[in-house]
Structure 1
């Protein structure tokens, strides 16, 4: 019968098959090249979620404003009702001994975790988090906080972090005789 007993030459279809395989390989290489940063970010995020987070303490804390009664070092002392008192737009910079992968940041806003302590001073409801790598490369992320007492957790996911700078924005409850209060900032690295 005609369709089943066709004679085929020995090299028939080889060139077509080779061109199809070559096109598929080129498409895979192009996709890998264009999606490599997204793939790397997905890989790092997966490692963050599968690994444990470990607390890391800064070796140096500097702030744009100082208050003798409420210094910036109060934000890293482990006491949640001891705060740094400052003004809107102030910055605080945390420097670490060695670069690390910053997985999570926990911010305890206000003057303390009890509602009465929390409402005693003003709070910043928006922070600009800026991380700097040893090479000087900077990455920023906006953190928006709820106006409520207690710790608030943020997934940050930055690699090679050497310093972290927080800028306090959008004050709430700022009236005469009150200052912005930041009780505690905790950083966690991938273990």
Structure 2
């Protein structure tokens, strides 16, 4: 047997004892985990979250999100005067446009209502003619019969219709000549142009030249005039007016909006 050699001495391993970290029981609480931290710390001792995060900027007002006021970065006081002037200019432009477009807008609305509504016949309460042929008075133009007519001695004769209440005149039907019958129509003279003069309740006058076709039957004339009180027709441009004949106007019908 071999002899046993003496062993080399081995130093004992050091024992590491953990040192307890002092508890930081007071201080700024972490916004993430609510752990208290001593003043002066920038990050949480537990989760390393930032203790003083940068404050989020306040949201922009709604008008700052609309062009041309939309900006990524702007000082608090920048552009206030310019924005105020722009807003004022826009308001003035809207007011001016409203004043300019108001009459046109009203007319468009009334015309739309005329087309959508139902037309109702209106009978005048008074009829006066500047001249009449015997047995052919001007009242024949509103009797509802197309074989009786108003006879005028010549051009520039006029007839005026008066109404009891103001109304919206949407249409006028004119039956020219002595009758709607073709044979009787050609028996007298006809006015191929009629000057229409409408007077409203406020005294405003609206004039329109109406060109009539030289044929029998009713011919519509759209008007679209509000608050009508009187309507005057003046005959001109005669056709078929020879010796022994006179101008004939068979029927005039007025319609209001229902």
TM-score of the two chains, using structure 2 as the length reference: 0.69
Partner of 1:3: none
Ranges in structure 2 where 5+ consecutive residues have no aligned partner: 1-71
Higher gyration radius (CA): 2
**Of Structure 1 and Structure 2, which has the larger fraction of its residues in strand?**
1
By how many angstroms is 1:67 displaced? 2.2
Partner of 2:203: 136
Secondary structure of the residue aligned to 2:86 is helix
TM-score of the two chains, using structure 1 as the length reference: 0.93
Superposition pairs of residues 10-159 of structure 1, within 5 angstroms? 10-86=76-152, 87-159=154-226
Between 135-144 and 160-169, report the one with greater CA deviation.
135-144
Between 13-22 and 91-100, report the one with greater CA deviation.
13-22
CA-to-aligned-CA distance 1:45-66 (integer Å, 9 cap, x gap) = 1111121111000011110012
Secondary structure of the residue aligned to 1:168 is strand
Secondary structure of the residue aligned to 1:43 is helix
Q: Which has the higher contact order (CA 8 A, sep 6+)?
A: 1
- Runs (4+) of structure 1 exceeding 6 A deviation are none
CA-to-aligned-CA distance 1:14-45 (integer Å, 9 cap, x gap) = 33232222211110101111222222211211
Whether 1:186 aligns to 2:253 is: yes
Ranges in structure 1 where 5+ consecutive residues have no aligned partner: 1-5
The count of aligned residue pairs is 186
**Of Structure 1 and Structure 2, which has the larger fraction of its residues in helix?**
1
